Structure 1
Amino acid sequence: MSLVTYELDDHVATITLNRPDARNAINGALRRDLNAAWNRFRDDEDAWVGILTANGDVFCAGGDLKDGEGSVGTFGGTFWEKPTINSFESGMELFKPTIAAVHGPCIGYGLTGVLFCDFVIASTEASFAYPEVSLGVPTIVGAIRLPERVRWADAMELLLTGRPITAERAKEIGLVWRLVEPDRLQSEAQSWARTLTEAAPLAQRATKEVASRTANMGWIESVRFGETMRKVAGATEDVAEGIAAWREKRTPKWRAR
């Protein structure tokens, strides 16, 4: 049985954690499969939007403390030896739109993965936690990512107490974008993914890359980089198709070229 499944349907790739018997805790094998799935999504020209979700009642129980490999990056004997610089949650450069569809507890490594996504859609039964400090372990990548998404004090609430917060609280602080009833979670994520595929995929990626890279640039450098990206995107077939569709008053047929 694959620990992570990858399904592609009409330009939407669904990446699913598939270790429900262990509450989708991240061991070395699952982590390798998960990174491979994100690599596949990044490199798959037919995949325009990605959804991260999970099987079972728990989205992710965090790092597997029983895993002898210690390859989850937060627990185990190799804690200081395996920095996650190119994995899906902490270093990969990915500018395609991504959605997290979260149900049940989302803990530690799972929450860091969710923070990798542009949109977080959660079930009312979801909860979120970074419990590392309660075990004497610092949270690293989560401590880098979370303050970029929510207010400082709200980030510290999660990071410094180790206590979980409800889905409602996560929506209140801006961690969750949309909150839905459990039976609507997957359909809501798929519906939003379909909406995203209506826009030009290469233009989306260029826009997201500009938003990401210019966060740490000065104004002049940001504008220059953005104008460079505009020229790059302007040379694509999709731009010609978009203009032609506008003139002909029809729906454009994007090809991601």
Structure 2
Amino acid sequence: MSDLIQTAFADGVLTVTLNRPEKKNAITQAMYASLAAATQRARTDDTVRVLLFRAEGDSFSAGNDIADFIAIGSSGGGQVVDAPVFHFLKALAELDKPAVAAVRGRAVGIGLTLLLHCDMVVVAEDALLSVPFINLALAPEAASSLLLPMVIGHQRAFEMFALGEPIDGRTALAWGIASRAVPAAEVDAVAAGLAAKLATRAPNSMRKSKQLMRDAGALWSLMLREGEAFGSQMSSPEAMEAFMAFSQKRAPDFSKAG
């Protein structure tokens, strides 16, 4: 388990903490491997009743580590479905126990799409959530091409994908991405309280209820299709321009793309 992903278990709740606050909890491939292991443990360990995601610092997650993207894209990239991130996504798709998230600050990319796999999401009222995949010349992931429109509607989802502009926690609540919006100082306590309540409920009834509410096989199949689109984009000239522009803190120039 990476030191950048910490786990703690108590009273049926497995708490997974993103612990890279100096990088806004941007997620590396090594961190994805640890997240996959923790999520798999939550599914297979009968003592775990609930999985709780939280983060240290002032952001939930800035999304994927751009340095990883540049390295993978520069290498010709392509088989992203073999990367640790997809081990984590498969574990998320197959998770049949309750997942809760506690979100403060920014939740970007996977920082938001992860929430679509959680059953209860507590956000800070001033949190900022975004999915700027197209800004990086990429494509949606984590089955978000299905789940985000399902939750908030096609037009809102398309705008979030296409423009990459953030919504705040109050909007996330109103649109159905979050189940609670509270002051930032209360996020962790409220999320932990909900996880503790869920841990007292009948576990087999909970698992069967969640299984009926999601089609794990269909989600994983879509994740693989998204992975093909994502992988083909990662090594594209327009993605490399987007990555370099991000690193150089300038606007990308897609005028020659097509």
Q: TM-score range by the shorter chain?
A: 0.7 to 0.9
Q: Could you tell me which amino acid in structure 2 is paired with residue 193 of structure 1?
A: A
Shift of 1:80: 3.3
Shift of 1:154: 1.8
1:189 alignment partner, one of 188, 191, 194:
191
Say whether the 8 Å CA contact 1:62–1:107 is kept in structure 2. yes
Say whether the 8 Å CA contact 2:115–2:177 is kept in structure 1. no
- Percent identity between the two aligned chains: 31
Task: Calculate the TM-score normalised by the size of structure 2.
Answer: 0.75
Say whether the 8 Å CA contact 2:24–2:58 is kept in structure 1. yes
Q: Residues 145 and 80 from structure 1, CA distance in 2 versus in 1: closer, same or farther, beyond 3 angstroms?
A: farther
Q: Could you tell me which amino acid in structure 2 is paired with residue 190 of structure 1?
A: A
Q: Could you tell me which amino acid in structure 2 is paired with residue 116 of structure 1?
A: H
Shift of 1:207: 1.3
Shift of 1:126: 0.9
Say whether the 8 Å CA contact 1:89–1:115 is kept in structure 2. no
Tell me, in whole angstroms, the C-alpha distance in 2 between the residues paired with 1:152 and 1:31: 29
1:170 alignment partner, one of 155, 169, 172:
172
Tell me, in whole angstroms, the C-alpha distance in 2 between the residues paired with 1:35 and 1:188: 25
Secondary structure of 2:51's counterpart equals strand
Residue 80 in structure 1 maps to residue 81 in structure 2 = no
- Partner of 1:231 in structure 2? none
Residue 53 in structure 1 maps to residue 50 in structure 2 = no
Q: Residues 68 and 176 from structure 1, CA distance in 2 versus in 1: closer, same or farther, beyond 3 angstroms?
A: closer
Q: How does 1:104-143 map to 2 (within 5 A)?
A: 104-141=105-142, 142-143=144-145
Shift of 1:144: 2.8
Say whether the 8 Å CA contact 1:111–1:130 is kept in structure 2. yes
Secondary structure of 1:160's counterpart equals helix
- Partner of 1:65 in structure 2? 66
Shift of 1:25: 0.5
Structure 1 residues without counterparts, runs of 5 or longer? 217-257
Shift of 1:138: 2.0
Say whether the 8 Å CA contact 2:59–2:104 is kept in structure 1. yes
Secondary structure of 1:92's counterpart equals helix
Tell me, in whole angstroms, the C-alpha distance in 1 between the residues paired with 2:51 and 2:86: 21
Q: Residues 88 and 7 from structure 1, CA distance in 2 versus in 1: closer, same or farther, beyond 3 angstroms?
A: farther
Tell me, in whole angstroms, the C-alpha distance in 2 between the residues paired with 1:76 and 1:178: 41
Hey, which bits of structure 1, 4+ residues long, moved more than 4 A?
A: 68-71, 75-79
Say whether the 8 Å CA contact 2:113–2:141 is kept in structure 1. no
Secondary structure of 1:39's counterpart equals helix
Say whether the 8 Å CA contact 2:123–2:178 is kept in structure 1. yes
Tell me, in whole angstroms, the C-alpha distance in 2 between the residues paired with 1:214 and 1:135: 28
Q: Residues 182 and 197 from structure 1, CA distance in 2 versus in 1: closer, same or farther, beyond 3 angstroms?
A: same
Say whether the 8 Å CA contact 1:88–1:116 is kept in structure 2. no
Tell me, in whole angstroms, the C-alpha distance in 2 between the residues paired with 1:32 and 1:85: 9
Q: Could you tell me which amino acid in structure 2 is paired with residue 204 of structure 1?
A: M
Q: Residues 124 and 78 from structure 1, CA distance in 2 versus in 1: closer, same or farther, beyond 3 angstroms?
A: farther
- Partner of 1:220 in structure 2? none
Structure 2 residues without counterparts, runs of 5 or longer? 219-258
2:181 alignment partner, one of 176, 179, 182:
179
Q: Could you tell me which amino acid in structure 1 is paired with residue 162 of structure 2?
A: L
Shift of 1:17: 0.7
Q: Deviations over 1:10-66 (max 9, x none)?
A: 001111111112111011111111111111211221110111111111110011111
Residue 161 in structure 1 maps to residue 163 in structure 2 = yes
Q: Residues 209 and 162 from structure 1, CA distance in 2 versus in 1: closer, same or farther, beyond 3 angstroms?
A: same
Name whichever structure is richer in helix by fraction.
Answer: 2
Q: Residues 164 and 89 from structure 1, CA distance in 2 versus in 1: closer, same or farther, beyond 3 angstroms?
A: farther
- Partner of 1:42 in structure 2? 43
Say whether the 8 Å CA contact 1:96–1:204 is kept in structure 2. yes
Say whether the 8 Å CA contact 2:25–2:60 is kept in structure 1. yes
Q: Residues 76 and 19 from structure 1, CA distance in 2 versus in 1: closer, same or farther, beyond 3 angstroms?
A: farther
